[in-house]
Amino acid sequence: SEMSQASVRLNRLIENLLNMSRLESGHLSPRPDWCDVHDLVNKVSGTLKQELSQFKFIQEIPEDMPLVYIDFGLMEQVLHNLILNATQYAPEGTTITISFKYDKAGILTVKVMDSGGGFSLSELNLLFNKFYRGEKTSSGGTGLGLSIVKGFVEALGGSVSAGNLEGGGAVITIEIPVKISEMNENESN
């Protein structure tokens, strides 16, 4: 069991280092396709099932959420890193929420929120730097997760920011311009 967990951590480390290398070399080109955000969240929550088992995981997706034209693999990695971070910094038994919203201006907004201690003002400007690890870090890590999130989101033409929730906890907000699938387009295909 311990060897299995260690191999999963090692695999994550190697994947993060490879992703960082791709970002820095400019060999990362998004391959967008039509994507259902429900599938995206289900894939990530399935992969992180063990980590999320200690939390209440809430998905807020509007009923009328359209299909979005985005790179599934890059978004999967972004959400994986954000949700994994939330499980590492929020107290067990608390709530982790992911919310999606699409506005008429063509922006997909994704928020990952937790009920942890949030961020100190001094670290808000450092969070997305390579190898930066949070002030309240208790678990091992490389400090690459949020840096990769930033790189992938920017490769998709978007932006990412961090903040604190009024009632306590952290929020990471991603905004990405996307095309959506209109119902009448689907009916004619």
Asked if residue 72 lies in contact with residue 35, where contact means CB atoms within 8 angstroms, the answer is yes
Residue 184 has pLDDT above 60, yes or no: no
pLDDT digits (tens, 9 = 90+) for 24-64: 777 778 889 999 999 999 999 998 998 999 999 999 999 99
**C-alpha angle 169/10/35, rounded to 5°?**
60
Residue 185 has pLDDT above 50, yes or no: no
Asked if residue 96 lies in contact with residue 87, where contact means CB atoms within 8 angstroms, the answer is yes
Asked if residue 47 lies in contact with residue 80, where contact means CB atoms within 8 angstroms, the answer is yes
Helix axis angle for 145-155 and 2-25, nearest 10°, is: 40
Higher pLDDT, 185 or 15: 15
Residue 133 has pLDDT above 90, yes or no: no
Query: What is the pLDDT at residue 139?
Result: 54
Rounded to two decimals, what is the model's pTM?
Answer: 0.83
Residue 134 has pLDDT above 80, yes or no: no
pLDDT digits (tens, 9 = 90+) for 163-181: 999 888 999 999 999 988 7
pLDDT digits (tens, 9 = 90+) for 76-116: 989 999 999 899 888 999 999 999 999 988 999 999 999 98
